[in-house]
Amino acid sequence: MHTQVLIIGAGVTGLGLARDLVLRGISCIIVEQGDINSGASGRNHGLLHSGARYVSSDSEVAAECLEEADILKRLAPQCVEETGGLFVAVEGDDERFIADFPGLCQKARIPAQSLDIQEALEMEPCLSQKIIAAYRVPDATVDPFKLALQNFCEAHNHGTKLLRYHKVVGFKKAGNRLISAHLINTETGAAIFVEADQFISAAGAWCGEIARMAGADMDMLYSKGSLTVTHSRLSNRVINRLRKPADGDILVPGGTVSIFGTTSLRMDVPADVRPTVREVDHLVSEGAAMIPGMENVRYIRAYAGIRPLIRSGPDAGDRSVSRGFILVDHAEDGIDNFLTISGGKLTTYRLMAERTADRVCERLGVCKPCRTKEKPLPVDPAFEWTEPGLAPREWIKHPDHHDPLLCECEMIPASVIESVVNAFRSQGGKPSLKAIGLRTRMGKGACQGSYCGARVTSHLCDRGDLTGLEARKELRRFLQERWKGERSILWGGQLVQSELKEAIYCGLLGLEM
């Protein structure tokens, strides 16, 4: 297999880069060890930063966020909800920090409007009576799955190929150049080699590993962040704690749910991370200071992602390390056709892709300008279903009682599952519960897969997509995967749900045996 550009990593950065390149007429292949958004792009907060969070720590990042958020609101409105955001401080928070905030925002040109307390409480009744300051900023939310899937759709429509479940394990080199990447199919163990003119690592937290395989070196830090998902939406707007960035600072609405986080724990290696009971308890109590209801709401999940951080200056804790991105040209390490793009934010993924694509074009002698700054992101209706609340809205508009709702929590009928499976197949994917879960809200409601897991597998068997034996294996995988996010939030109502789930899948179906 040969291509002009091989991109490693199908997170938003790699996918955004593929889109940028194909729009300039350059062909690429993306290789990904899992499916789309297996890394940080699928485990983040979904906050489209106005930049206000970074005004005190990193004015450059703040400016990038402000500009990029604005571009995304205009060009990818289908992925964005313009919720607006608040910054609030509670009794006991650092007065100096509060006093400096408006000036810093002004300097960064981020509109921050001071609110009186009563006004803020009326806007967001969930807030604590003990807030002492409140500002309104233009924060918004972004659906990272829709964003990634829609970016890939356009790239795919222009011929980009995605090798899912293929892990890069090494490179072949000749002199100062990489010749091919050595890939292992993580499902079958089969090896393949892909030759390319240029190699780009967009492997997020795994960039260090990839660089090492190529014979280069990168000094990286890793920080784990855990988030909790509540059963219902707690606020209309994004709510940030107005203090020096710390744990449990941000509540982000996501359609019908809210997401609260994060923690920040140093990791030695970018491993498969799971939230712990202790982290969740910590988040609940931090959150309750700002939003008292967080003590009693129902949580349905928690998840964790890894931030790759770029070491800069004296080590003053992970939150003070830059959130900016780096584009490393490994010519410095003696490899002439290898770049790494890492760090940054979801909010700035487009800019990261643009800068990287500019460099690739330079190398390939292509002089076409970036188009993603003006061209709207096309909407492919088959990949809209990650949006919370979309399926129920559609169902209520056109209920069809011959179209069984396979997932009742999120109201996903069989026809939606089928359209997603068909679209996914046309992109070369093999349907699995995990793949469907990534492209819809299936399994994300209160039952966390108790019913829909079984119903969707049966449906796939009926369609001939899976045999019964494959279905059993699939179901096991799906349940284990969901469990990672359930285990730390199982008390109250969700504990009841998990007991039912175990009664069905173990008590009745014996899947543990």
Ligand X SMILES: Cc1cc2nc3c(=O)[nH]c(=O)nc-3n(C[C@H](O)[C@H](O)[C@H](O)COP(=O)(O)OP(=O)(O)OC[C@H]3O[C@@H](n4cnc5c(N)ncnc54)[C@H](O)[C@@H]3O)c2cc1C
Please report, for the chain, how many H helices and E strands are present, in that order: 14, 22
Task: Single out the segment in contact with ligand X by CB under 6 A; choices: 26-34, 188-196, 330-338, 471-479.
Answer: 26-34
In the list 92, 111, 369, 507, the residue contacting other proteins (rule: CB under 8 A) is 507
Q: Which residues contact 224 (CB under 8 A, 6 or more apart)?
A: 263, 264, 265, 266, 267, 273, 304, 305, 306, 307
Residues 236 and 44: their CA atoms lie apart, in Å, by: 19
Residue span 250-289 as binding mask against other proteins, x where in contact by CB under 8 A, dash where not? ------------------------x-xxx--x--x-----
Q: Interface with ligand X includes 152 (CB under 6 A)? A: no
What does the per-residue mask of binding to ligand X show for 41-80, with x meaning CB under 6 A?
Answer: x-xxxxx-x-------------------------------
- Axis crossing angle, helix 12-23 with helix 144-157, rounded to the nearest 10: 30
Does residue 473 interact with other proteins by CB under 8 A?
Answer: no
Interaction between residue 206 and ligand X (CB under 6 A):
yes
- Which of other proteins, ligand X, none binds 345 (CB below 5-8 Å, type-dependent)? ligand X
Verify binding: residue 189, other proteins, rule CB under 8 A: no
- 246 or 506: whose CB is closer to other proteins? 506
- Binding positions for other proteins, 427-456, rule CB under 8 A: 451, 454-455
Does the protein bind ligand X through residue 274 (CB under 6 A)?
A: no
Quote the longest CA-to-CA distance of the chain: 68
Residue nearer to other proteins on the CB measure, 357 or 421 = 421
Residue 240 interaction partner, one of ligand X, other proteins, none, beta carbon < 5-8 Å per kind: none
CA dihedral 241, 244, 248, 254 (to 10 degrees): 50
Rounded CA Rg of the chain: 23
What 3-state DSSP class applies to 340?
strand
Rounded to whole angstroms, the Cα distance separating 375 from 463 reads 38
**Residue 80: what are its φ and ψ, rounded to 5°?**
-120, 140
DSSP 94: -
Q: Does residue number 459 form part of the binding site for other proteins (CB under 8 A)?
A: yes
User: Does 202 engage in binding with ligand X (CB under 6 A)?
Assistant: yes
Residue with tokens 């559609």: 394
- Provide the 10 A C-beta neighbour count for residue 63: 16
Of 38 and 83, nearer to ligand X (C-beta) is 38
Binding partner at 271 among other proteins, ligand X, none, C-beta below 5 to 8 Å by kind: none
Question: In angstroms, rounded to a whole number, what is the distance separating the alpha carbons of residues 366 and 24?
Answer: 8
Task: Report the residue number, 215 or 292, with the smaller CB distance to ligand X.
Answer: 215
By CB under 8 A, name the one of 202, 404, 431, 440 that touches other proteins: 404
Rounded to an integer, what distance in angstroms lies between the CA atom of residue 88 and that of residue 100?
A: 14
- Name the one range near ligand X by CB under 6 A: 38-46, 98-106, 111-119, 463-471: 38-46
Give the H or E element holding residue 239. Answer: strand 238-241
User: In angstroms, rounded to a whole number, what is the distance separating the alpha carbons of residues 237 and 122?
Assistant: 12
Contacts with other proteins, residue ranges (CB under 8 A)? 274, 276-278, 281, 284, 401-402, 404-406, 451, 454-455, 457-459, 461-462, 464, 467-469, 471-472, 475-476, 479-480, 482-483, 486-487, 490-492, 495-496, 498-500, 502-513
